[in-house]
Structure 1
Amino acid sequence: MHLDGSDGDTPLLRLGLVGRGIQLSRTPAMHEAEAAAQGLACRYELLDTDGGVEDDLAAILNRAEAEGFAGLNVTYPYKQAVMAHLDGVSEAAARIGAVNTVVFRDGGRFGHNTDYWGFSESVRRGLRGAAMGRVLLLGAGGAGAALGFALADLGVRRVMIADTREGAAAALAGAVGAVAEVVEDVAEAVQLADGVVNATPVGMAKLPGTPIPPALLEPRHWVVDIVYFPLETAFLEAARERGCRALSGAGMAVYQAVRAFELFTGRAADAGRMRRTFEAMAAEGGG
Structure 2
Amino acid sequence: MNSQVKSSKSFLCGLIGAGLQKSRTPPMHEQEGQAQGLRYVYRTIDIEQLGVGVEALPELLRAAKLMGFNGLNITHPFKQLVLPLLDELSDDARALNAVNTVVIKDGRMTGHNTDWWGFAEGFKRGLPDVARNCAVQLGAGGAGAAVAHAAMQLGIQKLYLRDVDPAKAQLVADSLNARFGAGRVVVCTDLEAAMAEADGLIHATPIGMANYPGLPLPEALLNARHWVAEIVYFPLETELLRVAKAKGCRVLNGGGMAVFQAVGAFQLFTGSEPDAERMKAHFASLGA
TM-score (ref. length: structure 1): 0.95
TM superposition shift of 1:11: 4.5
Partner of 1:206: 211
Question: SS of 2:21's equivalent?
Answer: coil
Question: SS of 1:81's equivalent?
Answer: coil
Over aligned residue pairs, what C-alpha RMSD do you find? 1.5
CA spacing shift, 1:30–1:57, aligned 2, 3 Å: same
Question: SS of 1:197's equivalent?
Answer: strand
Within a 5 Å distance, the mapping from 1:135-150 to structure 2 comes to 135-150=135-150
CA spacing shift, 1:166–1:33, aligned 2, 3 Å: same
TM superposition shift of 1:133: 0.6
Whole-angstrom CA distance in 1 between matches of 2:42 and 2:255 = 19
Structure richer in helix, relative to its length: 2
Whole-angstrom CA distance in 2 between matches of 1:183 and 1:96 = 19
Q: 1:48-98, CA deviations, whole angstroms, 9 ceiling, x for partnerless residues?
A: 111115331100100001000000000011001111111111111111110
Q: 1:89-134, CA deviations, whole angstroms, 9 ceiling, x for partnerless residues?
A: 1111111110000000122100100001000111111111100011
Within a 5 Å distance, the mapping from 1:82-101 to structure 2 comes to 82-101=82-101
Contact 1:47 1:53 in 2 (8 A): no
Whole-angstrom CA distance in 1 between matches of 2:74 and 2:59 = 14
Q: 1:196-218, CA deviations, whole angstroms, 9 ceiling, x for partnerless residues?
A: 01100000000000101122111
CA spacing shift, 1:63–1:53, aligned 2, 3 Å: farther
Partner of 1:155: 155
TM superposition shift of 1:12: 3.2
TM-score (ref. length: structure 2): 0.94
Within a 5 Å distance, the mapping from 1:65-214 to structure 2 comes to 65-177=65-177, 178=182, 179-214=184-219
Partner of 1:37: 35
Aligned length: 280
Q: Which runs of 5+ in 1 are unaligned?
A: none
- State the identity as a percent: 46
Partner of 1:28: 26
Contact 2:166 2:187 in 1 (8 A): no
Amino acid at match of 1:238: V
Partner of 2:227: 222
Deviating beyond 6 angstroms after TM superposition, the runs of 4 or more aligned structure 1 residues are none
Partner of 1:267: 272
Is 1:15 matched up with 2:5? no
